[in-house]
């Protein structure tokens, strides 16, 4: 088998070109037009949010959310540590300082226990954060009830980074719709893609309208070009939005396939002592964007990197889980609050975790090859 088995690549549904062609036919190529409006309305309806604003990237959506929450230089923002750096970079864009929060085992996401400790410290030091960025990792929602209860008690708004969890639900409600703002990503590797792009959602329609204003260079209502506040060039193009409209039509099918891939791995690998698939919290539904697992070093005599190398030798792409942000050189010196003194969960997951190929175009034969390589490497 010569074709490389990929982690997660774009998978077109077939109707995307229809919407793109409409953009060409009407000559709406700029970041305006029917596809942008349609994609925003259709995505908002799908997740049950009042309004949505299409952006050039998920990172741009986070940046806009923090800007609209008046995050400024000298402020602090709490953020999940076990995530891609795009979750936290917008904090730096605004001159603020991130404070990182550890994970917990039932979701791999933000630990309410660690979050409570961070708030207690902030209250004692008079450094209350302007916002809390909660990330839903690999499609699994965080423990939103507990997290929202804590944040509401301290009066701090939540930005829900649902870049990886579109189509997931928590107690029947869509991931990304719990905080003041939610964000989604349509990067090439996400469950649906526009090649690049993102979406900001909120039940506050006034703020979403404000985000559109800020995302188009904050041009005032005047015949000449007049600007009173800082703006950005963050609106999604009408062509890209056309791809998104077509992709949204196949989202449910992609979620079903991702879950089927995960279930196949779990059934085939569950008998290996020391190998544990990522959990799914009770009363939640994960889109299983990436099938991930951990290897217990006390029970498995193969390191994650050795297994990744073995898969690579068979032309199979696999990766470690995200390196926690509090361990990144860029954030050296930033505060970090662990789940407990005895167990830094995010560091353990990074040391033991692997992301397996979860491409929705992967054949049964290709997935079986991945499984065979894993079994042969661990057993040998």
pLDDT of residue 380: 61
3-state secondary structure (DSSP) of residue 372: helix
Q: For residues 89 and 100, give the distance between their C-alpha atoms in angstroms, rounded to a whole number.
A: 12
Architecture of domain 16-248: 3-Layer(aba) Sandwich (3.40)
pLDDT in tens, 320-375: 999 999 999 999 999 999 999 999 999 999 999 999 999 999 999 999 999 999 99
- The CA-atom distances, in angstroms, between 320 and each of 7, 85, 189, 275, 323 are 11, 15, 16, 15, 8
Q: Are 73 and 253 in contact (CB under 8 A)?
A: no
What backbone torsions phi and psi does residue 316 show, to the nearest 5 degrees?
A: -120, 130
Global pTM? Answer: 0.97
- Reading the chain (380 residues) residue by residue, the pLDDT tens digits are 459 999 999 999 999 999 999 999 999 998 889 999 999 999 999 999 999 999 999 999 999 999 999 999 999 999 999 999 999 999 999 999 999 999 999 999 999 999 999 999 999 999 999 999 999 999 999 999 999 999 999 999 999 999 999 999 999 999 999 999 999 999 999 999 999 999 999 999 999 999 999 999 999 999 999 999 999 999 999 999 999 999 999 999 999 999 999 999 999 999 999 999 999 999 999 999 999 999 999 999 999 999 999 999 999 999 999 999 999 999 999 999 999 999 999 999 999 999 999 999 999 999 999 999 999 999 76
pLDDT of residue 2: 59
Dig out the tokens for 109 from the structure. 């996401």
Q: Are 178 and 170 in contact (CB under 8 A)?
A: yes
- The CA-atom distances, in angstroms, between 350 and each of 31, 39, 60, 328, 357 are 39, 35, 26, 12, 17
State the number of CA atoms in the 13 A half-sphere of 122 facing the CB. 28
Q: Are 255 and 361 in contact (CB under 8 A)?
A: no
pLDDT in tens, 94-112: 999 999 999 999 999 999 9
CA-only gyration radius of the chain, Å: 21
Single out the catalytic residue among 130, 190, 257, 335: 190
CATH 3.40.640.10 segments of the chain: 16-248
Q: Is 190 a catalytic residue?
A: yes
List 285's β-bridge partners, or say none: 169
Q: Span 251-379: which CATH code? A: 3.90.1150.10
- The CA-atom distances, in angstroms, between 257 and each of 86, 118, 170, 290, 291 are 26, 38, 19, 11, 12
Phi-psi region of 70 (alpha: psi -120 to 50; beta: other; left: phi over 0): left
CATH 3.90.1150.10 segments of the chain: 251-379
Which residue from 275, 279, 259 is spatially nearest to 374, judged by alpha carbons?
Answer: 275
């Amino acid at each position: 088998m010569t074709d490389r088995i990929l982690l997660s690549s774009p998978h077109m549904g077939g109707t995307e070109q229809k919407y793109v062609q409409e953009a060409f036919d009407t000559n709406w190529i700029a970041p305006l037009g029917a596809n942008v409006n349609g994609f925003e309305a259709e995505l908002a309806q799908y997740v049950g949010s009042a309004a949505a604003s299409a952006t050039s990237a998920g990172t741009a959506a986070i940046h806009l959310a923090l800007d609209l929450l008046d995050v400024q230089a000298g402020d602090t923002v709490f953020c999940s540590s076990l995530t891609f750096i795009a979750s936290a970079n917008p904090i730096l864009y605004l001159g603020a300082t991130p404070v990182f929060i550890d994970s917990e085992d039932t979701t791999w996401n933000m630990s309410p226990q660690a979050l409570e400790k961070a708030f207690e410290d902030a209250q004692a030091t008079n450094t209350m954060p302007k916002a809390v960025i909660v990330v839903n990792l690999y499609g699994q929602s965080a423990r939103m009830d507990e997290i929202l209860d804590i944040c509401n008690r301290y009066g701090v708004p939540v930005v829900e980074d649902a870049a990886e969890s579109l189509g997931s639900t928590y107690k029947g409600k869509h991931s990304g719709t719990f905080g003041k703002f939610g964000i989604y990503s349509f990067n090439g590797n996400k469950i649906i893609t526009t090649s690049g792009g993102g979406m900001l959602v909120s039940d506050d329609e006034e703020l979403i309208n404000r985000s559109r204003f800020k995302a188009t260079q904050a041009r005032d209502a005047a015949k000449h070009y007049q600007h009173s506040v800082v703006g950005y060039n963050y609106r999604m193009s009408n062509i890209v939005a056309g791809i998104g409209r077509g992709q949204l039509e196949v989202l449910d099918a992609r979620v079903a396939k991702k879950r089927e891939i995960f279930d196949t791995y779990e059934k085939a690998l569950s008998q290996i002592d020391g190998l544990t698939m990522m959990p799914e919290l009770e009363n939640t539904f994960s889109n299983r964007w990436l099938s991930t697992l951990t290897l217990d070093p006390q029970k498995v005599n193969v390191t994650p990197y050795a297994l990744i190398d073995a898969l690579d030798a068979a032309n199979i792409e696999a990766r470690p889980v995200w390196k926690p942000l509090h361990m990144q050189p860029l954030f050296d010196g930033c505060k970090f609050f662990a789940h407990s003194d005895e167990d830094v969960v995010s560091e353990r997951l990074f040391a033991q975790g692997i992301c397996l190929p979860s491409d929705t175009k992967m054949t049964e034969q290709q997935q079986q090859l991945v499984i065979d390589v894993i079994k042969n490497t661990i057993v040998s």
